[in-house]
Amino acid sequence: MNQLATKYKDEISRIMAKYPPEYRRSAVMPLLYLAQREMGYLTDEAMQEIAEITEMGVTEVASIVGFYTLFHDQPGGKYRMQVCTDLPCALRGADRFLEELCQNLGIQPGETTPDGLLQIEEVKCLAACHRAPMYQVQSPEGLTFYEHQTVESALEVIAGLRASEQGKGGQA
Amino acid sequence: MVTIYIDGKPYQVDAGQNLLHICLSMGINLPYFCWHPAMGSVGACRQCAVKQFRDENDTRGRLVMACMTPAVEGLRISVQDPQAVEFRASIIEWLMENHPHDCPVCDEGGECHLQDMTVMTGHTYRHYRWKKRTFRNQNLGPFINHEMNRCIQCYRCVRFYRGFAGGRDFDAFSNHNTVYFGRKTDGVLESEFSGNLVEVCPTGVFTDKTFRKHYTRKWDLQTAPSVCVNCSLGCNTTPGERYGQLRRIRNRYNFNVNGYFLCDRGRYGYEFVNSDRRIRQARLRRNREAAFESVAPDEGLQRIKEIVKKSGRTIGIGSPRASLESNFALRTLVGPEHFFSGATVKDHELVTEAIKILRDIPSSMASLHEVETSDAALVLGEDVNNVAPMAAYALRQSVRCKPQAISQKLKISDWDDTAAREAVQDQKGPLYLATIADTRLDDMATRTFHASPQEIARLGFAVAHQISPTAPQPENLDSAALELSKMIAQDLKDAESPVVVSGCSLEEKSILYAAANVVQALRSIGKPARLFLTLPESNSLGLELLEPGSLNQAFAIAREDNVEAAIILENDLYRRSNPALLEAFFKSIPSVIVLDSLDNPTAQKADVLLPAATFAESDGTLVNNESRAQRYFQVFVPQDDIKESWVWLRAIGDALGQEEPGARKTFDGLIADMVKELPFLAPVQEISPASGFRIAGAKIPRQPHRYSGRTSMHANVSVHEPQPPQDPDSPLSFSMEGFLAEPPIEQPPASLIPEFWAPGWNSIQSLNKFQEEVSGPLIGGDPGKRIILPPDPEQAAYFDEIPEPFASRAGELLLAPLYAIYGSEELSIHTPGEAQLTPPLRLEINPRDAQQFNLTGETVLQVSVDSQVFELPLHISASIPEGTAGMICGLPEMPYVALPAWGKVTPKPVNSSTENPG
Ligand code: SF4
Ligand code: SF4
Ligand code: FES
Ligand code: FES
């Protein structure tokens, strides 16, 4: 109980200060962001706690989490590679791109590589339709867009992520 | 009014109303999903597209959504335009992409809006041939089945559940292809209006779980117009039967009463009709020690004849849950001076007082519809969610009335639901709740006030005084209550049509007086204020209108006057009176005759027990809380030896050779007699045509024309098709044959429509065809008539019985009644689902009192009140006012105690041997 509130007391009060007291619920997005940054995904406890802070129902909080593809209620890879397969991208070969990429990695869309590093997800339009195939990588550091992709270039990106992780591991 | 052109034909329509509403009201079929007559438009599904043209020269036009387009002068649209037709067919094809192909085995099949709309658009072939998305369903509790794969994402469910019913444990989850409607995790839906999802959802995602347990195809149900018996509001219902079993209850629209919705207690409380505890045969016993034996009905009557013949006197005890007709038949049989109210002594007094108030003060009672449309409300004493649930629904909607001014100023139509809500945001109209403790309506309240019954009354008196200084003023009101009374008075004065909601549940007369004073005061300054009183049971008002004596008078007569026999009508007196008094009563009466449907402690005391029909097997009239007399009809013929109570009472009268006006042989005759004797009951005769009524020489069939198995249903008994049972008492028949309605061209009067159905409209949405206009009154007028009409508007005197301030007592707490939606009412508890949701016995106490009495969390308490001792677990609740304690009344395990009453509360001594009640 109140793990976030204890651990991030100051940050939470800074967030809450931005909104009028009768609209505490407005703080739900930044609080979810904070909780996901902390744990990589949104646990039931975190949602419950955010519901209490914002005086919302936990059902509503969960509904918001479900609506946004950048919020996750299940643990996943450290990096989430989100490939757009919506109609315009599909017309430019995004679905084949996804299929081949997955084959190369030996996983299905939605799954994570065995080392826990990378999860591939299908998402809806990311507003770069004319530069498809495209995806974004969501990581604890933020979001990066990759456009005009091929399976080869994507594998390179992945190799890069892996190398930097190992680098971090080496330093630690 | 403006003129618009639909496919070249001119129509006079309401300016600003949306085109979908207009088309449906004009009888033009146009498919739709996200729009709902009670919830307005959101323009989400694109199913209602029509072509709109600039002027008569425009031949191209453009597609618009009918539900989002207001009618303006000269507007031209086409419903039949080929492009619009094609568009609508492809929309439904898209919506159906993920919809399973399981109509033949789907619970919704046969009354599915999606089926109807698919047929209406003419879409017959689906191009989509890939995998469909599938979901995991949730267990939503005992009432509602969940089958998410059938969802077409119209969002009606979540709009209803959250936006209208105020539930918070249900929502839309996820996005795009996997939008999911349900709870965060499995669990019982919390809202007491959840059952409406079954009718609100246009597909089979939410279906009736109780019905599922004894499923039958919708077109095989025999139905009749009926009225809910589970509280005093008298919501209209359509029960359905097959093979002698009541299968389900569906809402029945009544503009003035429940509109499109029911509460879950009413919708799911029907299963007592099928209960194992039904009394199905007449029973006798030779003496009080002997066991019951089942006998033929005639033997029972013969025995009654012997008993009553030698009797010097027979008294009759009526019932607030029996029909007006049965109560009157008993009153006639025993004579008015020997007819007693079967309600508790307090309820008898309170309802009698309520009748006086309604008759004397020149305010009109509010109907449920009027509560819903009032722009300020004060609730004095009632926990409406638990006592009269649909009134809570109405109040929830009422807070939206005042802020409508905001959206109207922005030129947003009231039907434009998203825009209107967006404009209004969280603003709510005034709603003040003065109750004992928390209620489930508190989230809507401007302010709540939790106090003892006396203090609630005193607050009401203070409000009246603030509105009009001539109204008496309570003395020594504390400053917080005084401030609050000023605030309430101001809001009520500022309103256009304020309503005061009160009632009998706190068993405190002065609360009724206070409510009456507030209404009077508002009227005196020219506000058309209305009063809405909830009453204890479905026919409390009807019973007391017959002017019975009180139960205590019955006990006194039994003690002193040599009474030989008592006839007890559909009543478990152990729910009405102190058990010791009852034991004495039964001892003093040599012969007890009981008519009832379910076995209960009173039936156990009978010397002769006659099996009475339930509402589903009877014709009768119930008088609801606003004195609206409403007729219900037999849905099916009772089986075994069960008969309607008034039929039994007639048979007893016959056996006794009572000089009877011959007319009383029939139901019509009984009503005619009643009106002759009590002329103010005249409206009862007018609420529905008499039994001789025919349309084109035919009766109105209770079975739909698609009813299957007529010739074979009983083949296991006899291969010959039996003659359908006759119904001498009403214009309805137990058959498929008869007048076939063709709404809206020709149809029976609204009181006699067994079920709403129209060609092409198999779902409940067929109602459109039976209303004067969408969401308006039923064609030819809604059934039911008020018995008490407001008196001439001359000022009646204010009540001045203001109670003393509440003073707590050392060592004692004032036990006040609390109510549970499932559990406090006698009949619905026999539905397994409702029984499962009944709260445990407990005594709720304020934490400070608990501390003072040295009580802690887990304690079992010994409560001495009204010369009885109970053991109740302690429940600490901060919302219970200090000095009082809350006790849920009516629970089956609890003997009757007259509350409010002072009680001594102590922790149960270790090794105490006091037995638990029940
Ligand atoms: S569950 Fe029913 S009401 Fe809810 S969105 Fe789906 S189809 Fe509409
Ligand atoms: S509010 Fe009362 S009358 Fe209406 S459905 Fe519920 S229990 Fe029945
Ligand atoms: S459709 Fe893929 S980015 Fe727009
Ligand atoms: S009914 Fe008009 S858009 Fe859904």
Tens digits of per-residue pLDDT, B154-206? 999 999 999 999 999 999 999 888 999 999 999 999 999 999 999 999 999 99
B549, B427: one domain: no
- Number of C-beta neighbours around residue B143 at 10 A: 23
Structure tokens at B24: 């449906």
- Of the given ranges (B345-349, B453-457, B782-786, B853-857), which has the lowest mean pLDDT? B853-857
B600 and B633 within one domain: yes
Domain count, chain A: 2
A116 has a pLDDT exceeding 80? yes
Q: Flag whether A85 is in a domain.
A: yes
Q: Are residues A103 and A49 in the same domain?
A: no
Q: Does some domain include residue A7?
A: yes
Is residue B77's pLDDT more than 70?
Answer: yes
- Closest chain B residue to the Cα of A66, Cα to Cα: B174
Tell me the average pLDDT across B655-681.
84
CATH code where residue A28 lies: 1.10.10.1590
> Could you tell me the CATH number of the domain that includes residue B580?
3.40.50.740
CA distance B892 to B895: 8
Does B617 fall in a domain? Answer: yes
Same domain, A62 and A114: no
Q: Provide the CATH number for the domain around residue A146.
A: 3.40.30.10
State how far the Cα of B449 lies from the Cα of B434, in Å rounded to an integer: 5
Expressed in angstroms and rounded, the spacing between residue B671 Cα and the centre of ligand 1 is: 46
Do B507 and B548 lie in one domain? The reply is no
Asked whether residue B44 carries a pLDDT value surpassing 80, the answer given is: yes
pLDDT at B661: 55
Residues of A with CB under 8 A from a CB of B: 22, 57-60, 62-63, 66-69, 124
Is B496 in the same domain as B574? no
Cα–Cα distance for residue pair B251/B227, rounded to 1 Å: 10
Asked if residue B379 and residue B492 are part of one domain, the reply reads yes
Q: Which of B579, B571, B92 is nearest to B320 (CA)?
A: B571
Contacts of A60 in chain B (CB under 8 A): 168, 171
Q: What is the pLDDT of residue B917?
A: 46
In a domain, B111, yes or no: no
Residues B447 and B520 in one domain: yes
pLDDT at residue A141 tops 50: yes
* Three-state SS at B752: helix
Looking at the fold, whether A29 and A107 belong to one and the same domain comes out as no
Domain hosting A132: range is: 79-171
Task: Specify whether A103 is located in the same domain as A138.
Answer: yes
Residue B68 contacts residue B416 (beta carbons within 8 Å): yes
B187 in a domain, yes or no? no
Ligand with the closest atom to the CA of B23: 4
Ligand 3 atom index nearest CA of A87? 1
Last residue of a domain, one of B61, B95, B129: B95
Which residue from B173, B176, B426 is facing A63, i.e. has the nearest CB?
A: B173
Asked if the C-beta of B188 comes within 8 angstroms of chain A's C-beta atoms, the answer is no
Domain boundary among A42, A67, A92: A67
Residue A52 sits in the same domain as residue A102: no
B380 in any annotated domain: yes
The closest of A96, A6, A85 to A53, measured between CA atoms, is A6
A127 and A46 share one domain: no
Contact criterion met (CB < 8 Å) for A60 and B169 = no
Could you tell me how many CB contacts below 8 A there are between chain A and chain B? 31
Q: Are residues B224 and B1 in contact, defined by beta-carbon separation less than 8 angstroms?
A: no
Smallest-distance ligand from the CA of B138? 1
pLDDT value of residue B602: 97
Residue B229 carries which DSSP code?
-
Q: Tell me if chain A has a CB within 8 Å of the CB of B183.
A: yes
Chain A residue numbers with beta carbons less than 8 Å from the beta carbon of B174 are 66-67
Query: How large is the average pLDDT for residues B884-891?
Result: 94
Q: In whole numbers, what is the pLDDT of chain B averaged over residues? A: 94
Q: What domain range includes position B891?
A: 812-907
Mean pLDDT value of segment B670-696 = 96
Which residues on adjacent β-strands are paired with residue B291?
none
Please check whether residues B622 and B676 belong to one and the same domain.
yes
Q: Is any ligand 1 atom within 6 A of the Cβ of residue B516? A: no
Please tell me the distance between residue B42's alpha carbon and the centre of ligand 3 in angstroms. 27
d(CA A90, ligand 3 centre) in Å: 8
Q: Are residues A93 and A23 in the same domain?
A: no
What is the pLDDT at residue A166? 84
Q: Is B61 exposed, middle or buried (CB count within 10 Å of its CB: 0-12, 13-18, 19+)?
A: middle
**pTM of the predicted model as reported, rounded to 2 decimal places:** 0.95
Please tell me the distance from the alpha carbon of residue A114 to that of residue B487, in angstroms, as a whole number: 65
B377 to chain A, minimum CA–CA distance in Å?
A: 24
User: Per-residue pLDDT for B541 more than 70?
Assistant: yes
DSSP string, B843-860: EEE-HHHHHHTT--TTPE
A38 within some domain:
yes
Per-residue pLDDT, B517: 96
Whether A167 and A86 map to the same domain: the answer is yes
- A63/B183 touch (CB, cutoff 8 Å), yes or no: no
Indicate if A106 and A165 belong to the same structural domain: yes
At B105, the pLDDT band (50, 70, 90 cuts) reads very high
Per-residue pLDDT at A172 exceeds 50: no
Same domain, B445 and B526: yes
CA B846 to chain centre: 32
Do B726 and B586 reside in the same domain of the chain?
yes
Residue B767 tokens, joined? 């109602």
B571-611 pLDDT, tens digit per residue, is: 999 999 999 999 999 999 999 999 999 999 999 999 999 99
pLDDT at B659: 63
Residue-wise pLDDT tens digits, B140-168: 999 999 999 999 999 999 999 999 999 99
Domain boundary among B73, B95, B117: B95
Residue A73 lies in a domain: no
Boundary (domain end) residue, out of A39, A67, A95: A67
Instruction: Show the CA angle centred on residue B531, arms to residues B525 and B532, nearest 5°.
Output: 160
Contact between residue B252 and residue B807 where contact means Cβ atoms under 8 Å apart: no
Residues with CB under 6 A from ligand 2: B 228, 230-231, 233-235, 258, 262-263, 265-266, 388-390
* pLDDT at residue number A142: 86
Residue B570 structure tokens: 């559909």
Band (B35; pLDDT cuts 50, 70, 90): very high
Q: pLDDT digit string (tens) for B768-804? A: 999 999 999 999 999 999 999 888 777 678 999 999 9
Q: Could you give phi then psi for residue B662, rounded to 5 degrees?
A: -50, -30
Asked if B291 and B310 sit in the same domain, the reply is yes
Average pLDDT over residues B837-858: 91
Q: Give me the residues paired with residue A146 across strands.
A: A135
Ligand 4 atom nearest B46 alpha carbon = 3
Q: Rounded mean pLDDT of A75-93?
A: 94
Q: Residue B787 domain-assigned?
A: no
Based on the fold, state whether residues B336 and B380 are members of the same structural domain. no
User: How many independent structural domains does chain B possess?
Assistant: 4
- Cα-Cα-Cα-Cα torsion B654, B658, B662, B665, nearest 10 degrees, comes to -30
**Which of the listed residues A40, A67, A94 is the one where a domain comes to its end?**
A67
Distinct helix (H) and strand (E) counts, chain A: 8, 4
Q: How far is B177 from chain A (nearest CA, A)?
A: 10
ipTM of the complex: 0.89
Q: Is the pLDDT of residue A171 over 70?
A: no
Residue-level pLDDT at B664: 63
Domain membership of residue B382 (yes or no) is yes
Nearest CA, atom 3, ligand 1: B201
Number of alpha carbons in the 13 Å side-chain half-sphere of residue A121: 21
Residue B918: predicted pLDDT: 40
d(CA B304, CA B651): 10
Interface probe with B: pick from A63, A64, A122, most Cβ of B within 10 Å: A63
Query: Is there a single domain that holds both residue A63 and residue A84?
Result: no
Distance in angstroms (rounded) separating the CA atoms of residues B501 and B627: 15
Considering every ligand atom, which ligand is closest to the CA of B250? 2
> Distance of CA B504 to CAs A110, B227, B617, B670, Å?
59, 21, 29, 30
* Domain annotation covers residue B172: no
pLDDT one-digit tens code per residue, B385-427: 999 999 999 999 999 999 999 999 999 999 999 999 999 998 9
- The answer to whether the Cβ–Cβ distance between A67 and B173 falls below 8 Å is yes
Separation CA A32–CA B753 (nearest Å):
54
**Residue closest to A143 by CA, chosen among A36, A62, A39, A65:** A36
Asked which of B95, B111, B146 is the last residue of a domain, the reply is: B95
Among chain B residues, the shortest Cα distance to A63 is held by: B173
Give dist(CA B511, CA B517) in Å, integer.
10
Q: Residue B544 CA to chain centroid, in angstroms?
A: 20
Rounded to a whole number of angstroms, the distance from the CA of B26 to the nearest CA of chain A is: 39
Cis ω before B679 (30° cut-off from 0): no
Task: Judge whether B779 lies within some domain.
Answer: no
Same domain, residue pair A84 and A152:
yes
Kindly state whether residues A41 and A86 are assigned to the same domain: no
pLDDT tens-digit map of B331-341: 999 999 999 99
**In terms of residues, how long is chain A?**
172
Residues B307 and B364 in one domain: no
Whether A74 is in a domain gets the answer no
- CATH of residue B892's domain is 2.40.40.20
Answer whether residue B914 shows pLDDT above 60.
Answer: no
- Residues B443-474 have pLDDT tens digits of 999 999 999 999 999 999 999 999 999 999 99
pLDDT at A170: 46
